[in-house]
Chains A and B, each alone.
Chain A
Amino acid sequence: GAVVSQHPSRVICKSGTSVKIECRSLDFQATTMFWYRQFPKQSLMLMATSNEGSKATYEQGVEKDKFLINHASLTLSTLTVTSAHPEDSSFYICSARDHSGLYNEQFFGPGTRLTVL
């Protein structure tokens, strides 16, 4: 199956700093990628839909100025958590949709654990 990678897998940062997380589709082109956040013992919550070459679409309650999304190429989307605070500590997961696939499947990355001190 198609592979989606995330970098870094873990990051620890100080409160007030910004952190960038990368999501890459390794063997397919993804015009659409998605960013999820997962708090401990909870489900995945969709944050935003990232479209290549256009602005991201954010879900209700997600601050677009705090979670900056850039989808500059067909294989890369980035999520930047700006001015991170301890409450932003979470597991961030991306997924990418393979539009060329038979069933337009979505493939999930391995996640990035963000800890804000």
Chain B
Amino acid sequence: GESVGLHLPTLSVQEGDNSIINCAYSNSASDYFIWYKQESGKGPQFIIDIRSNMDKRQGQRVTVLLNKTVKHLSLQIAATQPGDSAVYFCAEKLERDDKIIFGKGTRLHILP
């Protein structure tokens, strides 16, 4: 289940189950979106991206869904593994702009 702590919400998922991490983005003009994974004490690691002319994109074990109407992004991780434990951030940018703006983040906790 999901709980909201002081800063980062946590999603607890049983190993082997699918995880769905949600994100609301802020700028309706954003046209490029990225999901990052950040392990403790490390920099963000690119997972998958999607442009605003798409509503779904699949990678290896991951799928990103984009709903521009409600400014919502989700990351689905299939068959969650212990190595998926991390904080996941959605990020948005304008393709003509260089700046990547990060969302709040969700901690994914894998239950054995």
Residues of A near any B CB (own CB < 8 A): 1, 4, 6, 32, 34, 36, 40-46, 49, 91, 93, 95, 97, 105-111, 113
Contacts and interface: CB of A to CB of B under 8 A. Distances in A.
Given A93-B43, A105-B46, 13 more contacts: A1-B46, A34-B99, A34-B100, A41-B8, A42-B105, A43-B102, A43-B104, A44-B89, A46-B100, A91-B41, A97-B98, A109-B43, A111-B42
A116 B98 CA distance: 31
A111 B98 contact: no
A46 B89 CA distance: 14
Contact of A111 (B6, B36, B41, B100): B41
Contacts of A40: 7
B44 interface: yes
Interface of B: 5-8, 36, 41-46, 89, 98-105
B43 A43 contact: no
Given A43-B89, A46-B101, A108 B7 contact: no
9 contacts: A41-B6, A42-B7, A42-B105, A44-B44, A46-B99, A46-B100, A91-B41, A106-B100, A111-B42
Nearest to B98: A32
Q: Looking at A41, A45, A105, which has the most chain B CB atoms within 10 Å of its CB?
A: A41
Given A108-B44, A110-B42, A41 B98 contact: no
Nearest to B43: A108
A111 B43 CA distance: 5
Given A41-B7, A105-B46, A113 B98 contact: no
B111 to A, nearest CB: 20
A95 B41 contact: no
B98 to A, nearest CB: 6
B103 A41 contact: no
Q: Which of A40, A106, A107 neighbours the largest number of chain B CB atoms within 10 Å of its CB? A: A106
A49 B100 contact: no
